[in-house]
Amino acid sequence: MAATTDDIRHIAALAKLSFSDDELERLTNEMDAILNYVAQLSGAKLDGVDPAFALLRRDNVFREDRVGEMLKPDDALSNAPDRDEDFFRVPGFLPEG
Amino acid sequence: MMRDVAIGFEVHAQLATVTKIFCACANESGGAPNSRVCPVCLGLPGALPVLNREAVELGIRVALALESDITARSSFARKNYFYPDLPKGYQITQHRTTLATGGHVDVDVQGTRKLVGIRDIHIEEDAGKTVHAPFSKNARGSGSVGLVDMNRCGVPLVEIVSEPDISSIEEADAYLRKLYQILIYLGVTAGELHRGNVRFDTNVSIRNAVDGSLGTPCEIKNLNSFKSAGRALLFEIERQSRVLDAGGTIEHETLLWDDRAERALPMRSKEEASDYRYFPEPDLGDLVIGDDWIDFVRRFMPEPPDEHALRFRNWYGLRDDTARVLTAEPTVAIYFEDTLANLLRVLGLAPDSIVNPASRLLAISVEAREKMSVVFSEMEGISPERLPELAEVTANWVTVMVGAWVNENGVDLKTLALSCLPAARLAEVIAARVRGTVNEPAAKRLLVAAIDSSEPVDELLERLDLTQVTDASTIETLVTDVLLLHPAEVERLRAGEEKLIRFLVGQVMKHSGGKADPVLVGETLAKLLGIE
Ligand SMILES: [Zn+2]
């Protein structure tokens, strides 16, 4: 397992973040350390064991289709960095529906 | 150069549940921005999604109607991307295992049948809505900004992914319309295209003329109507053809359709395209669907349109074209069937139980069909020819006479059926015509009067004096009067100008105040003039 600067740059681009070269190098090293730590798991013997995606998780947990409590717009927007009337206001972006 | 194309679709339909897919917020449209939100759909820390059972059942309906294999155990996944309308930074969808796989849509392309394969059906959450606001200043007081409304966040969607089996724009149009008809019929979506209830993405590739292999597909997103889908396909096929004609190669691209400009523009840069880093959703358990559950859904789900048309032919002896016209929309089909049941009751041909409200409430489910067939087996005194005849008459009233009124007055049929003209009332109007109490023009006046007032139909007949004159001697007097008033026309008719018979029938009808039986008038005229 080795994280490259290109990997970090790619993930940063997906997250709409940009980093300086120094930051990229630091993040690459940190990511590499994390991946190596987790990679120890690949040493475990798992023949015949199905993949598990979660522990103690129950199947078929449902809600009935009834309306419950909703937030008032003022409460919904109370932590928003910026608002315009009852809309969240965000920096410009490409239109997408 | 004509090229072979392969077209596939991803159709997203918002499910007509009462609440959102993973939280108890109302699933509605309109209203103030950010008024139907909660910690779950806003993606606030610590909030957990819980799956809406109804959304699953509506998805199962779609799978059953498309004859897909329902997956016994499916799971949810996170599709990661950053966009202001997606507060969690991921969309909960199905990826590794989906609600159903396989199946097909049976499409009629200008008289030729074609099966379009379905790859998979899954359920997922919708994103919020973004609005551009060029005149709104951001917090720093500069730059363009966007406004976000999260009301749509978490609205349940069913996504139906087809195989790239479609080979022309005409087939694409027929496929989308048929699938839309099925979705509307199943009652799984409100289906208002202008509100974005149903949206299409398409992928298009061009087949290599030499070796027949499929080229790289390009995706076009954001198609909101059948028309824009057709235009976008034409645009994309022409674009790819030009590239190939010039000796170029097609690069995979995701394009966004701009309906106003009638063109598609590349959406994401290449390195980002389809890198969604799917992983299993840790907050939701698997969805396990057993046969009992599937049977339960099947039992109470509306009949899909093709089966419905077939049943109309089998039960009522309707012609194929009539059955298809009636089943184009479920509202029309249900109204027709209700009216016919009432007509049979009014004419004394079927027991009152034929209009059992309990069976009608279930509309066209298996339950209702079983109840109706019991009533049919108890129907006596109706000849095998009489039922198809009354069924065609009723179909004509619903689609032509009532249809014309609906078009002229800009009222939708559902509203009409639920207010001024319930099926039972329309049945009484039709019965007056079928019994010969009124002639054709009077029947039309009676229909309008029945819509405009709440008086009982028999009282309307009397008040408006619409009852047809069928008494032979009264009609003979009317005819004699008219013949005396028009000696010149009678002379020309006798000399062979046959079209004048129509003129004279018209004069007698006018003379009778429109009430005479026109058939009887024609016969009497012929008799008195001694012509065949
Ligand atoms: Zn919510």
pLDDT tens digits in sequence order for chain B, 532 residues long: 568 999 999 999 999 999 999 999 999 988 899 999 999 999 999 999 999 999 999 999 999 999 999 999 999 999 998 888 999 999 999 999 999 999 999 999 988 999 999 999 999 999 999 887 666 655 555 567 889 999 999 999 999 999 999 999 999 999 999 999 999 999 999 999 999 999 999 999 998 877 888 889 999 998 999 999 999 999 999 999 999 889 888 988 889 898 888 898 887 654 454 689 899 999 999 999 999 999 999 988 888 999 989 988 988 889 999 999 999 988 899 899 889 989 988 988 877 777 755 444 345 566 666 666 666 666 666 676 788 899 999 999 999 999 999 999 999 888 898 888 999 999 999 999 999 888 888 899 999 999 999 899 999 988 888 888 888 888 888 888 898 899 888 889 888 888 888 899 999 888 888 888 888 888 898 888 877 6
Question: Helix B226-245 to helix B169-186 angle, to the nearest 10 degrees?
Answer: 150
| Phi-psi sector, B514: left (phi>0), alpha (psi -120 to 50), beta | left
pLDDT (tens digit per residue) in A16-48: 888 999 999 999 999 999 999 999 988 888 888
Q: Could you say which DSSP state residue B402 is in?
A: I
CA distance B156 to chain A (A): 12
Distance CA A75, CA A83 (A): 12
**N residues, chain B:** 532
The phi and psi torsions of A40 (rounded to 5 degrees) equal: -55, -30
Tokens of A77: 């927007």
Q: Could you say which DSSP state residue A44 is in?
A: S
- CB contacts < 8 A (A, B): 164
Distance CA B500, CA B48 (A): 82
Tokens of B439: 């002639």
Distance CA B54, CA B197 (A): 17
CA distance A52 to chain B (A): 10
DSSP three-state, residue B316: helix
In chain A, what residues touch B127 (CB-CB under 8 Å)? 97
CB atoms within 10 A of CB A68: 12
Tokens of B521: 């008038």
Of B37, B56, B285, which is closest to A58 when you measure between CB atoms? Answer: B285
CA distance A22 to chain B (A): 23
Please report, for residues B200, B394, B430, the alpha-carbon distance to residue B398 in angstroms, rounded to integers and kept in the order given. 32, 6, 10
The reply to whether A77 touches chain B by the CB within 8 Å rule is: yes
- Please, is B455 exposed, middle or buried when counting C-beta atoms within 10 Å of its C-beta (0-12, 13-18, 19+)? middle
* Contact between residue B375 and residue B354 where contact means Cβ atoms under 8 Å apart: yes
Residue B367 pLDDT: 64
Of B24, B55, B272, which is closest to A66 when you measure between CB atoms? Answer: B24
CA distance A11 to chain B (A): 9
CA B162 to chain centre: 20
CB atoms within 10 A of CB B103: 23
Residue B253 identity (one-letter amino acid):
E
Distance CA B142, CA B388 (A): 72
Distance CA A59, CA A54 (A): 11
Domains by residue range for chain B, with CATH: 5-127+154-291 (no CATH), 303-463 (no CATH), 472-529 (1.10.10.410)
* Contact between residue B111 and residue B80 where contact means Cβ atoms under 8 Å apart: no
CB atoms within 10 A of CB B226: 16
In chain B, what residues touch A14 (CB-CB under 8 Å)? 80-82, 272, 275, 277
* Closest residue by Cα to residue B393 from B418, B426, B362, B419: B426
The reply to whether A38 touches chain B by the CB within 8 Å rule is: no
* Closest residue by Cα to residue B175 from B221, B256, B229: B229
Residue A20 identity (one-letter amino acid):
S
Tokens of A70: 């909703």
* Contact between residue B466 and residue B515 where contact means Cβ atoms under 8 Å apart: yes
CA B365 to chain centre: 17
Tokens of B502: 């129509």
Of B82, B129, B280, which is closest to A15 when you measure between CB atoms? Answer: B82
Query: B32–A77: do the CB atoms touch at under 8 Å?
Result: no
Q: What is the predicted ipTM?
A: 0.87
Please report, for residues B126, B173, B190, B258, the alpha-carbon distance to residue B198 in angstroms, rounded to integers and kept in the order given. 11, 14, 9, 17
Of A57, A77, A91, which is closest to B138 when you measure between CB atoms? Answer: A91
Query: A87–B75: do the CB atoms touch at under 8 Å?
Result: no
Residue A46 pLDDT: 87
- Please, is B427 exposed, middle or buried when counting C-beta atoms within 10 Å of its C-beta (0-12, 13-18, 19+)? buried
Tokens of B58: 């509506």
Of A61, A70, A88, which is closest to B51 when you measure between CB atoms? Answer: A61
Please tell me the pTM assigned to this model.
Answer: 0.83
Domain ranges for chain A: 1-42
Secondary-structure percent of chain B, ordered helix, strand, coil, rounded to 5: 45, 20, 40
In chain B, what residues touch A66 (CB-CB under 8 Å)? 18-19, 24
Angle at A82 between CA B93 and CA B92, to 5 degrees: 5
CA B329 to chain centre: 4
CA distance A97 to chain B (A): 7
* Closest residue by Cα to residue B233 from B209, B245, B217, B244: B217
Distance CA B51, CA B58 (A): 13
A1-42: which CATH topology? Histone, subunit A (1.10.20)
What torsion, rounded to 10 degrees, do the Cα atoms B274, B275, B279, B283 define?
A: -80
Mutate to test the interface with A, among B14, B21, B28, B34 (most CBs of A within 10 A): B34
Residue B296 pLDDT: 94
Angle at B529 between CA B528 and CA B532, to 5 degrees: 100
C-alpha radius of gyration, chain A, whole number: 22
- For B43, name the nearest residue in chain A, comparing CA atoms only: A76
